[in-house]
Amino acid sequence: MKRIVQYTILGGILFFGLFYIYTKWSAADKGDPAPDFEATLVDGSPFKLSELQGGYILLDFWGSWCAPCLKESPKLVALHKKHSKNLTIVSISLEKDAKSWKKVVSKFGYTWKNQIVEQNRFVMLSHIARKYGVTEIPAKFLISPKGNLMETYSFEQIDSLLTNISQVR
Reported as a single tens digit per residue, the pLDDT across 109-122 is 999 999 999 887 77
Return the HEC string of 63-98.
Answer: CCCCHHHHHHHHHHHHHHHHHCCCEEEEEEEEECCC
Q: How far is 8 from 100, CA to CA, in rounded Å?
A: 32
Reported as a single tens digit per residue, the pLDDT across 127-157 is 898 888 888 899 999 999 999 998 778 888 8
Q: What is the pTM of this model?
A: 0.81
Reported as a single tens digit per residue, the pLDDT across 45-90 is 999 999 997 889 999 999 999 999 999 999 999 999 999 888 999 9
If you ran DSSP here, which 8-state letter would residue 153 be given?
-
